[in-house]
Amino acid sequence: MVSGKSVVAAIGNFDGVHRGHQHLLAATAAFAAERGARPGVLLFDPHPRRFFRPDDPPFLITAPAQRDALLKAHGAEEIISRPFDKALASLTPEAFVNDVLAAQLNLAGVVTGADFRFGKGRAGDGAMLKALGEAAGLGVRLLDPLLESPDTEKYGSSAVRDALRNGDVKTAARMLGRAWSVFGTVTEGQKLGRTLGFPTANFALGEIIEPRKGVYATRTRFDGKTCDAVSNYGRRPTVGADAPLLETHLFDFDGDLYGREIEVVFIDFIRDERKFDGLDALKEQIEDDCASARRILTP
């Protein structure tokens, strides 16, 4: 809950909590200190893109729980989530600032990118936010996009998604300021990997964006441990599976992870998914993939 003018909030969706978001959060902490308030964020659930384009395929870079943990790690002391529904989408820019930011949330101030758009039909821009906010007693700070260099595009969620769809997890990591990772609860599958001598921990990605289908060098975290691993994301065409699945073989691990939550961290792309002529050829390729992953993951 927000009490009084105690919070300066960064406004955004914060999917990925990438380096551009981290820049925004640092500026929010500084602005909050100036105003004697606590730094926080104002975000919307569901993501506005899901509201306006409900038939889009999964696109989230981070699940809400992971996003919130990252926001707190980067200084957000208050996370304010507002339902994004027809009523909110229909608000004029004036109503959004006066009724939501000032009256309902009673914020001390807001921080967002200079290219921020808000209100029905995206009618409001940064200049309007500043004028309306200050008239309503809100401090407003607008930031220019963070660029890696003058010749590069801004750090943004769209650029991270493009990199993941291309299997370029190294570029995604540079934009995120950390390796991209996903969380999931391990489910029982066909146990084909165990039959071939390579048991896997499997889970579906749900609302998380699908990376390029194929094999990756990964690390797996659970219970405070980290294991080097190799992961395959895809439909497993050799065995005729339909639903995409993330399958991870942990090196030098002998245990049961069914029903437990694990984190899979993507380090590098190895190869595209493809169909093999039988299980023997598949097993031989898995052996090669494991060797490739070990080489990549060895310091």
Question: What residues are paired with 132 via a beta bridge?
Answer: none
Cis-peptide, bond into residue 39, ω within 30° of zero: no
Question: What's the pLDDT at 24?
Answer: 96
If we measure between CA atoms, which residue out of 111, 142, 94, 99 comes closest to residue 7?
111
Question: What's the pLDDT at 146?
Answer: 83
- Return the CATH superfamily for domain 179-297: Riboflavin kinase-like (2.40.30.30)
Residue 294's H or E segment, with its range, is helix 279-297
The reply to whether 179-297 shares the fold of 7-143 is no
Tokens (6 digits) for 264: 């899979």
Q: Which residues, including other chains, have CB under 8 Å from residue 208's CB and lie 6 or more apart?
A: 58, 60, 61, 62, 63, 182
* DSSP per residue, 37-87: -EEEEEEEES-HHHHH-TTSPP-BSS-HHHHHHHHHHTT-SEEEEEE--HH
Question: What's the pLDDT at 188?
Answer: 80
Q: Can you tell me whether residue 103 is helix, strand or coil?
A: helix
> What pTM did the predictor assign?
0.90
Residue 249's H or E segment, with its range, is strand 245-250
Q: Which residues of the chain have pLDDT under 50?
A: 1-3
Count of Cβ atoms closer than 10 Å to residue 61 Cβ:
22
Question: What's the pLDDT at 267?
Answer: 98
For residue 217, give the DSSP letter.
E
Answer CATH for 7-143 from 3.40.50.10490, 3.40.50.620, 3.40.640.10, 3.40.50.720? 3.40.50.620
Amino acid type, 127: A
Q: Where are the domains of the chain?
A: 7-143, 179-297
Residue with tokens 């009256």: 103
